[in-house]
Amino acid sequence: MFAEKVKVPDPAFAKAPVPEITPEIVSSPESPVVKIIPLANSTAPDPLRD
């Protein structure tokens, strides 16, 4: 179940990296956090554009 959950957030993050998932990824042994950090920056301007 854990392995399946890690694959689901991968694409979900690219669409809308939620701050709640960020801490979950940090706990993961993989280094997906690095992808979340840059993605989060791209999401910041999204809400600002509104």
Residues 22 and 9: their CA atoms lie apart, in Å, by 10
The series of mean pLDDT values per 10 residues for the chain, 50 residues long, is 51 54 54 52 53
Task: Please report, to the nearest 10 degrees, the dihedral formed by the alpha carbons of residues 39, 45, 46, 47 taken in order.
Answer: 120
Looking at residue 39, its pLDDT comes to: 52
pLDDT of residue 9: 52
Count: domains in the chain: 1
Predicted pLDDT of residue 19: 55
Show the domain range for 44: 2-49
| Assigned token pair, 16 | 């809308």
CB of 36 closer than 8 Å to CB of 10: no
